[in-house]
């Protein structure tokens, strides 16, 4: 009798364990690699102006549209953007690094100021945020504002999607 009771108890217990496994909600497993890849890509819409692609960027918290320029070795802003940052309390004399020379598109060499940007934000707060980025400053107010290889080299890869009109930055 004791043996039959023990056997029945074992069968009931085994059945309860198996049936509890079957009642779980059936979901496909989460693809962690895909989730990580989605979070590691920052998609930034671009606008075409005069044949060049511009994207919204914040320099030390000041918003502006910059030309996405893979031919530019670093980052270049005009005196106008520097004055705007200073007026808004986002730039001080302590951020001045010095003077540098740069070769511009026509091959001539020009003198530019060199500054340190505390923060460069691309794609919003959940986007790419770089700290202590050096930028050259054209000593005139109408020079183009260029986002070049100084920033592009800080990310793993960049993809231009001409159909979706976006630039995708992949984090390192």
Superfamily of domain 42-170: Acid Proteases (2.40.70.10)
Indicate the domain borders of the chain.
42-170
Nearest Cα neighbor of 144 from 75, 46, 60 is 75
Q: What is the pLDDT of residue 1?
A: 53
Instruction: Output the CA angle 38-53-132, nearest 5 degrees.
Output: 65
What are 111-146's pLDDT values in tens digits? 999 999 999 999 888 889 999 999 999 988 888 999
Burial of 84 (0-12, 13-18, 19+ CB in 10 A): middle
Enumerate residue ranges in the chain where pLDDT < 50. Answer: 2-38
């Amino acid at each position: 009798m004791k043996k039959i009771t023990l056997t029945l108890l074992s069968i009931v217990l085994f059945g309860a364990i198996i049936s509890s496994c079957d009642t779980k909600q059936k979901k496909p497993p989460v693809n962690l690699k895909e989730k990580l890849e989605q979070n590691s890509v920052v998609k930034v819409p671009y606008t075409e102006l005069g044949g060049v692609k511009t994207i919204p960027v914040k320099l030390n918290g000041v918003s502006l549209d910059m030309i996405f320029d893979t031919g530019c070795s670093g980052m270049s802003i005009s005196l106008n953007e520097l004055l705007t940052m200073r007026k808004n309390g986002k730039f001080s004399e302590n951020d001045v690094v010095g003077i540098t020379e740069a070769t511009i598109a026509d091959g001539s060499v020009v003198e530019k100021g060199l500054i340190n940007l505390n923060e460069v934000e691309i794609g919003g707060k959940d986007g790419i945020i770089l700290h202590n980025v050096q930028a050259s400053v054209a000593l005139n107010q109408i020079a183009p504002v260029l986002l070049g290889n100084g920033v592009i080299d800080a990310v793993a890869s960049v993809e231009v999607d001409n159909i979706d009109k976006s630039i995708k930055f992949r984090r390192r």
